[in-house]
Amino acid sequence: MAQIFVSGKMPVLALRGLAVFPDQTIHFDVGRPRSVKALDAAMKRDQHIFLVPQRDIMDDDPLPDQLVTIGVVAKVKQVLKANGENLRVLVTGLCRARVSEITQTDPFMEGHVVSVPETEVQDSVKAHTLRRKATNMYGAYLEVTEHTSKSTHLRMIASTDTGFIADTIAQNSGIDYRDKTKLLCQLHPVRRLESAIKLLQQEIEMLKLDVILQEKTRMNMEQNQRDYFLREQMKVIREELGEGDDLEEFDTYIKKIRQLKLEEDHEKKLLKDVDRLKKQPFGSAEGAVLRNYLDTVLELPWNVRTKERVDITAARKILDNDHFGMEKVKQRILETLAVRQMAPQMPPQILCLVGPPGVGKTSISYSIARSLNRKMARISLGGVHDEAEIRGHRKTYVGAMPGRIMAAMIQAGSSNPILLLDEIDKLGKDHRGDPSAALLEVLDAEQNHTYRDHYLEIPYDLSDVMFITTANTLDTIPTPLMDRMEIIELGSYTDEEKLMIAKNHLIPKQLKKHGLKKSQLRITDDGIREMITCYTRESGVRKLERSVAEVCRKAAMELLTQENPKRITVNGSNLENYLGVRKYLPDRLPGTDQIGLVTGLAWTSVGGETLEVEVNVMDGSGKLELTGNLGDVMKESAHAALSYIRANAQKLGVPVDFYKTKDIHVHFPEGAVPKDGPSAGITVCTAMVSALTGRTVRRDVAMTGEISLRGRVMAIGGLKEKTMAALRHGIRTVIIPSDNARDLEEIDQTVRKSLNFVVASSVDTVLDTALNHQTEMDSTILADISAECMGQPRPNGIRQ
């Protein structure tokens, strides 16, 4: 086609998101005031206007320097009024041009426009090939877009102008306006056509992909419509059968399962169970099993957490308000808080609180939960002897249910609670399995993040759970299980600690429980001490609390029966009116020092006790008689003591042949109570030496320690409880093994100040401290008296 040359002054109209090419007819809307005025000016003249794209389509009022350098001189064919104030314009492009000078910008843009000739190129095989390829490709484009008008394609087929074909493709395709602007600025026809072919190829590929996506969307919509139709039919059928709510139930299950955001295989497994449930007939047994299973899984707190309190000061205040004493436990909990604050990702420690009954192991666990702001669930393990109690049953069994761990998680309603495993030392074991072995995975921080309950069949994360276990003794806890826990021992309360607990906690609690006011009932300190000494003998405070409750009941009865009820005061002198006759008489020491009677110290599950050992020596053949319901270990200790005395008879002042001529009877009173343990070794030895030598034993001395054949005093346990028992009994001096000297730091200060501790590493120290020294004259007098009474000649030695 012949090129058109233009040079002159004409209005300039900026195009936004649009480009017009030579020899192309196009319509577009004009709405900006400056553009409308430029169009009016062109219509008043020769209908010629310069159309040039603007660089930034967001600019409502572009300046001359914001326009593209190349535009098109076009002739306005038609102007119609569109919606509102917009005008619809039909134009035909004439030639490429540029603005050499802007002559005005208001009220519209106008400038001197000069046409830009295209680069002249000779027709070549390459140009011919490109034209044919472009024509065929545009035909394919029309097929993809399903365009009904073929006139543009026919014009391209009939044309031999390379630039015209490139401009036609650019004008009549969905190529991006930025690419169209580049094609407009390209003056070389062959290069312009090459670029147009590439852009058109990309457009065709995008359109084909769009067609595929639309087809898939249509098929999905048809499938969804089909499914909806079938579901509606099923819904009607189920309503006729009385099963109308099942479909909503299935949808609810699916929605809740997806909200859990589980791992893909676990979610897939649960959704598969929902599909199985859909296929079950109404009222089937398997359907009930699947419903129970899905309900249990969905009740678990998978993604529910409570915000943990890491304020050490607030936690200390809560612990101190709830419990008196227990400094080791409180300090350990505060250390845990400090670590959690410094390293939140560290898994919680597993604590095992060991101590006698009634010292507050369970209640301190609830205080720990309050101080950490965690929810709490308690699992009682006493008497559990079936592994399925911990791990759950397979859901195929009738009446199957999850284990106690998962049940406690459901009860807590949080994925980071405190689980209290109470009485872990009382787990049983039989042919159905070992529950303590099932707990190994639960209490292992390296494994419990994928804990599998037999009922759930999918792993549950227990790594954020803080486990606290309680026990009365460590003897029955398996070693692998104990190895996973940090042991914290809670000792018995002293009488002074019990007094403070009763005043600050027990009495206010029971007054509130029985509807009494402080002004109505007062229990003095003497009354509380009398209650502790004569009505309760325990390491904890449970019996003490029951005694306080009994006093409150009697006081309430008295207040209601009196005509003019006054304030009731309970003290040591009138306590019997409320609690009856004293159950325990105060421990009294013997009136005088005696031969063969020694006070020992023993540990029991309810605290410490004093233990008297009596020894009699009689003429005989060297027999040793042990009575008092003794265990094997205690019997062996007595034999060890006897062997030591035989080996050191001369040094101890004992007749060398006593084991041939004397029978020894060792008795432990309260024969109905079983006794065992090695700590009475030095007690038995001291009693035997006293009986064999006739030396009296100091009645204010008590002792504990294991004896060896070489006379060494070996370490024992339970020193805190034993020393408190000695103080109650009125003892002033306590002999302990030297290896237990370090344990004196843990003994209550009141006990340490009241008792004199003698540290012994050998039996010699024990005998020197416990036995009274008699003069030779005293021994002779005793021998004369004994001989005269028996009508026998005076012996040279002393016999007992």
Give the whole-angstrom CA distance, residue 580 versus residue 586: 16
Integer Cα distance of 39 and 697 in angstroms: 131
CA distances from 77 to 151, 168, 169 (A): 19, 19, 22
Please pick, among 662, 679, 690, 720, the residue that the annotation labels catalytic: 679
User: Taking the mean position of all CA atoms in its chain, how far away is CA 767?
Assistant: 56
Helix (H) or strand (E) holding 556: helix 542-561
As a whole number of angstroms, the distance between CA 173 and CA 166 comes to: 11
Q: Taking a C-beta distance cutoff of 8 angstroms, is the pair 330, 316 a contact? A: yes
Which residues are within 8 A (CB) of 322 and not within 5 positions of it... i.e. 6 or more apart?
A: 363, 364, 366, 367, 370
Is residue 261 among the annotated active site residues?
Answer: no
Spatial contact of 416 and 458, defined as CB atoms under 8 Å apart:
no
Helices (H), 467-541: 479-483, 495-501, 507-513, 525-534
Cα–Cα dist 331/335, whole Å: 6
Sheet-wide strand order for 756-760: 624-627, 662-667, 607-619, 597-604, 701-703, 733-737, 756-760
Per DSSP, 571 falls in state: -
| Apex 704 CA angle, 699 and 710, nearest 5 | 110
Residue pair 660/769 in contact (Cβ under 8 Å)? The answer is: no
- 97: β partners: 71, 115
Q: Which two tokens stand for residue 552?
A: 């409150």
Rounded to whole angstroms, the Cα distance separating 572 from 584 reads 14
Q: Is 216 a catalytic residue?
A: no
Catalytic residue from among 722, 738, 762, 779: 722
Nearest to 600 by CA among 674, 682, 666: 682
Residues tagged active-site: 679, 722
